[in-house]
Chains A and B, each alone.
Chain A
Amino acid sequence: MKRRFYTLLIAVLMLGWSCDDDAFLNRPPTNILTDEQIWNSEEQILSVLGDLYNRYVDISTFKTINDIPGWMTVGDFNEAFWSEAGRYNAFQNSGWDVRSWGAWDYGYIREMNLFIQKCGASEKLDAGVKARFLAEARFLRASYYFELVKRMGGVPLILEPLTYDFSGDPTYLQRPRAKESEIYDFVIAEAEAIKGDLPSNAGEKSRATKGAALAMEARAALYAASIAKYGVNTPSVMLSGGEVGIPASMSQGYYTKALAAAKEIITGSAGTYALYTKKPDLSENFASIFYDKANNPEVIFVEDYKLQSGKVHYFTGWNQPRYGAEEEEGGRINPSLNFVEAFEKLDNTFAPIPTTNATGAPIYYDNQVDIFAGRDARLAGTVMLPGTTFKGRAVDIWAGFQLGNGTIVSGDDRGAQKTLPGKTVPEQVVGFDGPIDGFEFTAQTGFYLRKYLDPVVGSGQRGVNSEVWLVRYRFAEVLLNAAEAAFELGQPAVAAEYMNMVRARAGLVTPLKSSEINFDRIVHERRVELAFEGHYLYDMKRWRIAHLIMDGNAIAPAELSKDLGKATKRNTQPYGLWPYKIYNPGSPTNGKWIYKVTRLSRVTGADRFQLGNYYSYISDDVINNNPKIVRNPNH
Chain B
Amino acid sequence: MKVTVQLLAILLLGLGVMSCDKDNFTAPKSTLSGRIVYNGEPIGVEFNQVRMQLWQPGFGKLAPIDAPIDQEGRFSALLFNGNYKLVFPAGRGPFRTIQQDAAKKDTVYVTVNGNQTLDVEVQPYFMIRNPSFNGGEGKVSASLKLEQIVTGANAKAVEQVSLYVNKTNFVSRATNIGTTDLASANIKDLNNITMSVNVPALVPAQGYVFARIGVKIKDVEDMIFSPVQKIDL
Contact = CB atoms under 8 A, between A and B. Distances in A.
A611 B173 CA distance: 15
A553 B179 contact: yes
B219 interface: yes
A612 B90 CA distance: 10
Interface in B171-218: 173-175, 179, 181
A348 interface: no
Given A234-B219, A608-B174, 17 more contacts: A94-B173, A94-B174, A552-B173, A553-B179, A605-B174, A606-B174, A610-B221, A611-B91, A611-B221, A612-B91, A620-B63, A621-B61, A624-B61, A624-B62, A624-B63, A634-B92, A635-B91
B223 to A, nearest CB: 10
Contact of B62 (A234, A606, A620, A635): A620
Nearest to A630: B90
Nearest to A613: B221
B142 interface: no
B64 interface: yes
Contacts of A610: 221
Interface in B112-142: none
B220 interface: yes
- CB-CB nearest 4 A-B residue pairs: A94-B174, A634-B91, A624-B61, A552-B173
A480 B173 CA distance: 36
Nearest to A635: B89
Contacts of A234: 219
B174 A552 contact: yes
Interface of B: 61-64, 89-92, 173-175, 179, 181, 219-221
A171 to B, nearest CB: 16
Interface string A153-170: 000000000000000000
A235 B174 contact: no
A332 interface: no
A623 B89 CA distance: 15
A612 B220 CA distance: 11
A236 B221 contact: yes
Contacts of A554: 179
Interface in A580-628: 605-606, 608, 610-612, 620-621, 623-624
A631 interface: yes
Contacts of B174: 93-95, 552, 605-606, 608
Interface string A78-109: 00000000000000011100000000000000
Range class of the A interface residue count: 20 to 34
Contact of B64 (A606, A608, A612, A620): A620
A619 to B, nearest CB: 9
A235 B91 CA distance: 11
Nearest to A236: B219
11 contacts: A236-B91, A236-B221, A553-B181, A554-B179, A606-B174, A608-B173, A608-B174, A610-B221, A620-B63, A634-B91, A634-B221
A621 B221 CA distance: 26
Question: By DSSP majority rule, is chain A's interface helix, strand, loop, or mixed?
Answer: loop
A635 B221 contact: no
Contacts of A633: 90-91
A156 to B, nearest CB: 19
Interface in A521-561: 552-554
Contact of B221 (A235, A612, A620): A612
Contacts of A608: 173-174
B6 to A, nearest CB: 42
A236 B63 contact: no
A298 to B, nearest CB: 41
Contacts of A553: 173, 179, 181
A94 B49 CA distance: 11
Q: Which of B62, B64, B221 has the most CB of A within 10 A?
A: B221
Contacts of A93: 174
A624 B174 CA distance: 33
Given A552-B173, A611-B221, A634 B63 contact: no
Nearest to B92: A634
B90 A635 contact: yes
Contacts of A611: 91, 221
Contacts of B221: 236, 610-612, 634
B77 to A, nearest CB: 17
Contacts of A621: 61
Nearest to B90: A633
A236 B220 contact: yes
Contacts of B89: 631, 634-635
A430 to B, nearest CB: 25
Interface in A443-466: none
B48 to A, nearest CB: 9
